[in-house]
Amino acid sequence: MNLSDLFSPDQPLLEMVIRGSAVYWFLLIVFRFVLRRDIGSMSMADLLFIVLVADASSSAMQGEYKSITNGVALLGTLIAWNYLLDVLAYRYELVARLLEPPPEPLVRHGRLVARTLRKERITVDELMGKLREEGVDDLGKVRIARLESDGKISVIRNE
């Protein structure tokens, strides 16, 4: 093992930045529309960041890159995108709305919103289970139930 080979990139660093950026944006878009209700309280960007960092770190540590610099460049790219998107979402409401889905109504005034249930692939049984967890056993007692952007269901009861 030659020590200088560990720190000499074997692929152009710009290529690593472009690859990392392309994968990040592709997966962010996919997660934005597909995985909404399965991620709990983590944002999709956070989940994506964790998965990509784990994969990039694994590749760098297992020697899939001939140079540590390649792995560091890829990790740096992922960290930069994640930080930049967090800052932009904090400062600009439009960016936050693009990155996180808006709350969607599941029940309005005691009636199911079938369009949202179909769109989010939530069965009536799943919804009723969540309502029971909130202490609601009858749809008529619900003023509104929403699927929040973090994937949780919030319930406001009739007074």
Distance set, CA 33 to CA 19, 42, 118, 129, 137 (Å): 22, 15, 14, 24, 30
82 compared with 126, residue with greater pLDDT = 126
Structural domain total, the chain: 2
Of 77, 99, 121, the one marking the end of a domain is: 99
Q: Of all helices (H) and strands (E), which one includes residue 154?
A: strand 153-157
Same domain, 15 and 54: yes
Whether the pLDDT of residue 157 is over 90: the answer is yes
In the block, which residue shows the tokens 């994640």? 82
For 53-98, how does the pLDDT look when each residue is reduced to its tens digit (9 = 90+)?
777 766 655 456 666 677 677 777 887 888 898 899 899 999 988 8
143: domain CATH number is: 3.30.240.20
Same domain, 95 and 108: no
Same domain, 22 and 81: yes
Same domain, 50 and 112: no
For 98-119, how does the pLDDT look when each residue is reduced to its tens digit (9 = 90+)?
888 889 999 999 999 999 999 9
Sign of CA dihedral 40, 114, 31, 25: negative
pTM for this one? 0.57
d(CA 112, CA 130): 14
Same domain, 73 and 122: no
145 φψ region: left (φ > 0), alpha (ψ -120 to 50), beta (else): beta
> Looking at this protein, which amino acid is placed at residue 37?
R
Same domain, 72 and 12: yes
pLDDT of 37 reads 47
Same domain, 51 and 115: no
Confidence at 40, pLDDT banded by 50, 70, 90: low
Name the strands in the sheet holding 111-112, side by side, starting at the edge strand that comes first in the sequence.
111-112, 104-108, 142-147, 153-157
Whether the pLDDT of residue 35 is over 80: the answer is no
Same domain, 153 and 85: no
pLDDT of 32 reads 67
Contact status, residue 142 vs residue 107, Cβ threshold 8 Å: yes
Of 55, 71, 99, the one marking the end of a domain is: 99
Parallel, antiparallel, or unpaired: how do β-strands 153-157 and 142-147 relate?
antiparallel
**Among residues of the chain, what percentage have pLDDT more than 70?**
81
**Considering the chain, what is the average pLDDT of its residues?**
81
d(CA 154, CA 16): 41
In the block, which residue shows the tokens 């878009």? 29
Same domain, 85 and 109: no
Domain that holds residue 130: 104-157
Same domain, 79 and 108: no
Burial 22-33 (b: 16+ CB within 10 A, else e): ebbeebbeebbe
Of 99, 130, 149, the one marking the end of a domain is: 99
Same domain, 88 and 122: no
Same domain, 114 and 129: yes
